[in-house]
């Protein structure tokens, strides 16, 4: 390839990278997203509420809310920045300049594979992506250079990761295994390095927990413990494993096919056949995730698993041990969560920009064609099938109500926000307590600008008798005005507006009367003596 063609290819790569970056950024400004998790965490940040399981995250979140206010857009932008930096770190720290130039298309594809779920929520999971990526990169730099400064950084970052999300403590085991199994360190050096690493990890965790102790206020922790019990999380890892490992098997077959083509065909026909087969495989996958109903369901779960499996296979089959250690470090993100392997995304995207450099050129081209078609499919699918029943093709107005200011949302959602705000201002005063319940409880509360009446619970299942009983004494004592959304917790079967929840039945029994807002899918309940 002559110089002119090389320059053209290079500039095309830069243009693709810029496009991918801008495309990923659009999700910061569009759509309601998940109406539960982001607002649950933002409430904790605003009031510095929490316990030791995620104290580091709450401290950082509290700082952000103190600077930018209780608004989702700044938090989304920081979350997007965390994921982008996490992907860039291995690319920048583990490749030389020539490798970075050659791998720009793969970096662009990693950014194209990002979706709304990666950064519409600033949470312990988001910060974990950045921390684990940094730990892996700096660990490799230490193994390559043996400089103590890198070891100090790995230890401090590990402590930070633990404070951000306590289940990240398992990264200690992964790093210690990397140290113990290193062939380049003597037994005495392994003991010394391991000890220093543990010391700095302890210091890092101590600093963060100390700051948290000074800043945070204790709060009742209700993070859906039923689904976060160890037995439940292990069950999730087991039951959801079939989908992940099935996807892994498909990608392994795809890579093996490419290697067989490379071995059997001449140079010219190898390139032609690889491009054709790669395009065919990519289109087949695109057809599956677009037209198979199960694959295109809410959250695009099947597609998300396929993205994760793709990154893992590309990294593992490169036969590069540095990438294997990266896999072990990054998999920590899936442990200690009730969403199991789903949390592999987006953290495994960190592997992709540096894995392809270890494949032969023809095989790289083959995988690049497949991944490019796959990435286009992901972009389209994630735009059409969005979280929160908000199709991004239909976001057509700018929200003017906090915390959604500067975010484009559907008109019907903007009307809902306006109505909730209007009703709150009509019924609220200094002597009246407002209680919001139902699936959109977090959304209502933040729109109203009021603190949690009892505690900042995650779930609000109005069809659950146990949940209702917890609040009955409070309702009798405080006589709050109750805003009740119809949409139940997604783990419950009732979904019809006409279905009476246990909570609503309790309110009627306690002498409450209804203010009908069924057009907006909520009701207001007022004590009959008011």
Higher pLDDT, 455 or 480: 480
Q: Give mean pLDDT, residues 96-102.
A: 88
pLDDT at residue 490 tops 60: no
Position 296 confidence tier, pLDDT thresholds 50, 70, 90: very low
440, containing H or E segment: none
Torsion angle (degrees, nearest 10) of CA 327, 329, 330, 333: 140
State residue 89's pLDDT score: 94
220, containing H or E segment: none
Q: Give mean pLDDT, residues 441-464.
A: 80
Mean pLDDT of the chain: 81
Distance CA 520, CA 507 (A): 20
Higher pLDDT, 245 or 497: 245
pTM for the structure as a whole:
0.87
209, containing H or E segment: helix 187-215
Position 487 confidence tier, pLDDT thresholds 50, 70, 90: low
Position 155 confidence tier, pLDDT thresholds 50, 70, 90: very high
State residue 497's pLDDT score: 46
Distance CA 21, CA 119 (A): 13
Is 442:395 a contact under the CB 8 Å cutoff?
no
Which is nearest to 302 in space by CA: 283, 286, 315? 286
State residue 85's pLDDT score: 94
State residue 223's pLDDT score: 43
Distance CA 404, CA 446 (A): 10
Percent of the chain with pLDDT over 70: 84
Q: How many helices (H) and strands (E) does the chain have?
A: 23, 6
Which is nearest to 116 in space by CA: 232, 19, 28, 199? 28
Position 219 confidence tier, pLDDT thresholds 50, 70, 90: low
Question: How many beta carbons lie within 10 A of that of residue 41, not counting itself?
Answer: 25
The residue to which tokens 């929490």 are assigned: 50
Which is nearest to 481 in space by CA: 426, 529, 433, 439? 433
Tokens read off for 473:
């004494």
Indicate the SS3 state at residue 251: helix
């Amino acid at each position: 390839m002559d110089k002119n063609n090389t320059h053209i290819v290079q500039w095309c790569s830069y243009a693709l990278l810029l496009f991918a970056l801008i495309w990923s950024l659009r999700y910061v400004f569009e759509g309601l997203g998940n109406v539960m998790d982001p607002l649950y965490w933002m409430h904790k940040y605003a009031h510095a509420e929490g316990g030791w399981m995620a104290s580091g995250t709450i401290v950082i979140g509290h700082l952000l809310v103190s600077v930018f206010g209780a608004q989702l857009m700044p938090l989304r932008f920081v979350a997007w920045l965390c994921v982008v930096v996490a992907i860039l770190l291995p690319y920048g720290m583990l490749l030389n300049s020539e490798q970075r130039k050659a791998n720009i298309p793969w970096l662009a594809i990693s950014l194209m594979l990002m979706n709304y779920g990666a950064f519409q929520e600033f949470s312990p999971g988001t910060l974990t992506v950045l921390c684990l990526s940094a730990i892996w990169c700096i660990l490799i730099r230490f193994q390559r250079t043996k400089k103590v400064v890198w070891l100090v950084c790995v230890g401090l970052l590990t402590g930070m990761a633990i404070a951000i999300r306590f289940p990240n403590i398992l990264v200690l085991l992964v790093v210690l295994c990397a140290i113990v199994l290193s062939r380049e360190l003597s037994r005495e050096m392994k003991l010394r390095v391991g000890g220093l690493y543990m010391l700095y990890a302890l210091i890092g965790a101590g600093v963060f927990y100390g700051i948290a102790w000074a800043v945070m206020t204790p709060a009742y922790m209700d993070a859906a413990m039923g689904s976060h019990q160890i037995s439940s999380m292990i069950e999730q890892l087991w039951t959801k494993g079939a989908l992940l490992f099935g996807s892994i098997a498909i990608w392994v077959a795809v890579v093996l096919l490419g290697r067989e083509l490379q071995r059997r065909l001449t140079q010219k026909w190898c390139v032609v056949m690889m491009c054709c087969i790669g395009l065919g495989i990519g289109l087949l996958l695109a057809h599956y995730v677009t037209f198979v109903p199960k694959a295109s369901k809410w959250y695009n779960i099947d597609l998300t698993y396929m993205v994760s499996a793709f990154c893992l296979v590309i990294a593992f089959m490169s036969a590069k041990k540095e990438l294997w250690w990266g896999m072990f470090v990054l998999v920590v993100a899936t442990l200690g969560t009730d969403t199991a392997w789903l949390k592999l995304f987006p953290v495994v995207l960190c592997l992709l920009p540096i894995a392809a450099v270890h494949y032969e050129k023809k095989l790289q081209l083959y995988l690049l064609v497949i991944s490019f078609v796959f990435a286009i499919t992901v972009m389209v699918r994630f735009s059409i099938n969005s979280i929160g029943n908000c199709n991004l093709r239909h976001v057509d107005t700018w929200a003017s109500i906090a915390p959604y200011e500067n975010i484009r949302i559907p008109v019907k959602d903007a009307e809902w926000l306006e109505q909730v705000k209007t009703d709150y201002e009509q019924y609220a005063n200094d002597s009246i307590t407002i209680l919001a319940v139902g699936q959109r409880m977090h959304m209502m509360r933040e729109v109203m600008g009021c603190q949690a009446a009892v505690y900042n619970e995650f779930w609000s299942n109005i069809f659950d008798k146990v949940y209702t009983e917890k609040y009955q004494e409070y309702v009798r004592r405080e006589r709050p005005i109750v805003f009740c959304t119809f949409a139940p917790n997604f783990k419950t079967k009732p979904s019809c507006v006409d279905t009476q929840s246990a909570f609503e039945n309790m309110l009627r029994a306690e002498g409450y009367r209804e203010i009908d807002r069924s057009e907006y899918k909520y009701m207001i309940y007022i004590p009959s003596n008011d």
